[in-house]
Amino acid sequence: MSVEEQVKDIVAKIVHVDKGVITREGTFKDIKADSLDIVQALVAVEDAFDIEIPDEEAQKFQSFGDFISYVEKQVTEKEKA
């Protein structure tokens, strides 16, 4: 399963939406996620991929595409290490 699919699965479970509604162009606001949902999703993704997402980085995410790209980059860098 790709990083993108795993991130979508995690977010969909936490926010209780069908993962089909989560697109790279979409936002947490689009799926009516509240701040607690967002924090839980970030923590769950950090745990799933054994990465850290600093708050400063998380605040820069404008869409799920930004979020997914960041996670993909972190996973790739971790695999190279």
Nearest CA-CA partner of 31 in 9, 16, 10, 46: 16
CA distance 66 to 62: 6
Q: What angle do CA 62, 68, 58 make, to 5 degrees?
A: 50
The residues that are catalytic are 34
